[in-house]
């Protein structure tokens, strides 16, 4: 499979601060690639370099075989961008925003209006086309930004937290649309804080923290390798007590008001804790998930 984006020892510095620290990755054409990581991990910094919005500091980064650079107009014309901030013109209507954006991709006013209508239908915004952007709700604006990212029929669509702030229905709509795009051959690069979103959409995931890539793989492979098969959530017991008690049956991690025991033998863990000297208030067995992988790799503490 051909790589559409290739990064080698890629770095981003802001002054002396290193936001992206020598990362390597390859995005294969036609796939969905996800960057996960806590706040400040360097996801948006990486995305902005891929989108040719900010220059790389060192290493190499190619998109469609060409070096990514803010002047790389040929790259930009084949790419749709859904940035973390929306950059919509609030005084203009929904349609005007789309038409204006279409110009950049070389569409005439008529072509952009027609394509805009299709996209508003695609994102279930057709009734809003003559409203000013300032009259839209936050979720509608987000859907408009996704529609706008598609106006130039991009070969590569890059989305930085596309569903942040969307209600569950809108999120399902976006997932459906992104899957359709991927099936039609569009390559997707996304960042998200919703692990379910990454698990559903992505073929390949990288987990970043403090500018470095910690792990990479398919969602199911990462879950199996890092978290194991199952998790037992435990309420009402101390981390040290559970750790001592279960020994080598699993790995324990504190999770706010509960503990998670990652294990391949959930039944044995439950039996052991139910017959121990101190009983839990409550337990729940569930399949291990990408959320467990994320928390195991990046820890449970908040980033500054
Ligand atoms: N323009 C900038 N100037 C200086 N520092 C910056 C700039 N943009 C980002 N940073 C810093 O770089 C680091 C990475 O930021 P980045 O926005 O890439 O993180 P992120 O992974 O996208 O986080 P989030 O999940 O919160 O969106 C942070 O410490 C941030 O403060
Ligand atoms: Mg970000």
- Nearest to residue 81, comparing CAs of 13, 8, 155? 155
Q: 41 CA to middle of ligand 1, Å? A: 7
43 lines ligand 1 (CB under 6 A): yes
87 lines ligand 1 (CB under 6 A): no
41 lines ligand 1 (CB under 6 A): yes
| Structure tokens that stand for 122 in this block | 């695609």
Same fold, 3-217 and 229-287: no
How high is the pLDDT of residue 302? 64
Residues 77-124: tens digit of each pLDDT: 999 999 988 899 999 999 999 999 999 999 999 999 999 999 999 999
What residue owns the CA closest to ligand 1's atom 5? 14
Cα dist. 94→99, 127, 147, 150, 247 in Å?
A: 9, 10, 10, 14, 59
CB atoms within 10 A of CB 68: 26
What residue owns the CA closest to ligand 1's atom 24? 39
3-state secondary structure of 163: coil
How high is the pLDDT of residue 1? 72
How high is the pLDDT of residue 278? 85
How high is the pLDDT of residue 86? 87
Relative to the CA of 161, which ligand 1 atom is closest?
Answer: 27
162 lines ligand 1 (CB under 6 A): no
What residue owns the CA closest to ligand 1's atom 9? 45
Relative to the CA of 35, which ligand 1 atom is closest?
Answer: 21
| Structure tokens that stand for 160 in this block | 């930085």
Residues 217-238: tens digit of each pLDDT: 999 999 999 999 999 999 999 9
Q: 116 CA to middle of ligand 1, Å? A: 32
How high is the pLDDT of residue 143? 96
Q: Which CATH superfamily is domain 3-217 in?
A: P-loop containing nucleotide triphosphate hydrolases (3.40.50.300)
Find out whether 62 and 9 touch, Cβ atoms under 8 Å.
Answer: no
198 lines ligand 1 (CB under 6 A): no
- Cα 168 to Cα 218: distance, rounded to the nearest angstrom: 24
- 104-108-109-113 Cα dihedral, nearest 10 degrees: -90
45 lines ligand 1 (CB under 6 A): yes
Per domain, the residue ranges of the chain are: 3-217, 229-287
Rg (CA), the chain: 22
pTM equals: 0.95
211 lines ligand 1 (CB under 6 A): no
Regions of the chain where pLDDT drops below 50: none
Give the CATH number of domain 229-287.
Answer: 3.30.70.1510
- Cα 122 to Cα 170: distance, rounded to the nearest angstrom: 12
127 lines ligand 1 (CB under 6 A): no
Q: 116 CA to middle of ligand 2, Å? A: 27
- Cα 270 to Cα 250: distance, rounded to the nearest angstrom: 11
């Amino acid at each position: 499979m051909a790589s559409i984006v290739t990064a080698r020892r890629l770095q981003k510095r802001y002054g002396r601060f290193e936001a992206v620290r020598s990362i390597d990755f390859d995005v294969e054409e036609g796939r969905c690639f996800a960057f996960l990581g806590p706040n400040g991990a360097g996801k948006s910094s990486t995305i902005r370099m891929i989108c040719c919005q900010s220059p790389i500091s060192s290493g190499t980064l190619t998109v469609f075989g060409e070096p990514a650079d803010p002047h790389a107009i040929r790259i930009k014309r084949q790419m749709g961008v859904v940035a973390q901030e929306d950059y919509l013109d609030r005084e203009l209507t929904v349609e005007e925003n789309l038409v204006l954006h279409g110009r950049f991709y070389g569409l005439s006013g008529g072509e952009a209006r027609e394509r805009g209508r299709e996209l508003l239908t695609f994102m279930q915004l057709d009734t809003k086309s003559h409203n000013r952007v300032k009259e839209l709700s936050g979720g509608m604006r987000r859907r408009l930004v996704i529609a706008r990212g598609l106006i130039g029929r991009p070969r590569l669509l890059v989305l930085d937290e596309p569903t942040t702030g969307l209600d569950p229905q809108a999120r399902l709509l976006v997932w459906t649309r992104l899957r359709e795009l991927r099936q039609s051959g569009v390559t997707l690069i996304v960042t998200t804080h919703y692990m379910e979103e990454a698990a559903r959409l992505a073929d390949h995931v990288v987990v970043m923290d403090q500018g470095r890539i910690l792990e990479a793989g398919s969602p199911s492979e990462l879950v199996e390798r890092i978290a194991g098969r199952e998790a037992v959530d435990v309420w009402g017991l101390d981390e040290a007590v559970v750790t001592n008690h279960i020994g080598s049956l699993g790995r324990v991690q504190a999770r706010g008001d509960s503990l998670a025991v990652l294990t391949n033998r959930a039944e044995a863990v439950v039996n052991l804790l139910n017959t121990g000297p101190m009983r839990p208030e409550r337990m729940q067995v569930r399949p291990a998930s990408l959320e467990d992988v994320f928390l195991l790799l990046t820890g449970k503490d908040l980033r500054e």
